[in-house]
Amino acid sequence: MDTINGIVNFFGSPFFRFILVLVRVFLVILWISMAYWTYRDAKSRGAMAAYWSIVALIFPVFGWLIYLVVRPHERLEDTQERELEIRAKQAALACSGTVCPACMKPVESEFLLCPYCLKRLKKACPECQHALRLNWTICPYCQTSQ
């Protein structure tokens, strides 16, 4: 009986009530943090931030879980970064005017092979060492036949 009394006393004790309050405060903080996290994450991904934070507030945990499932995969910064990368590549192509036919990476017109995928692009003239197209039968620089 002593143990049962002890347990009953424990659940009725101010200490236990204090723990309950702590747990509740913790849950409220967790709930608000989830909504806040959802807001920031949705904003960074270009999703409807206000809408999703309200969903996370109305449905604690579940709203957040639903958001995790349906949120856009890419962050806005990543998308922008990738676009910048593509634009830089296009600019590089525009400058040199040539791309490797195998890997589409920019190469210069004098390259004998692609530095990225090692595809043979040109052949060197045995006489004057100019870069010649593979299907040329004569060197236009020194007239050596190939």
Residues that bind Zn ion (CB under 5 A): 100, 102-103, 114, 116-117, 119, 125, 127-128, 139, 141-142, 144
Residue 55 or 139 having the CB closest to Zn ion: 139
Closest approach, Cβ 82 to Zn ion, in A, equals 21
CA distance 50 to 37: 12
Helix axis angle, 49-58 to 62-70, nearest 10°: 150
Residue whose CB is less far from Zn ion, 7 or 124? 124
Give the Cα separation of 77 and 43 in Å (integer). 11
Q: Looking at this protein, which amino acid is placed at residue 46?
A: G
**Choice between 62 and 141, CB closer to Zn ion:** 141
> Which token pair is 105?
């990476």
Shortest spacing between CB 120 and Zn ion, in angstroms: 10
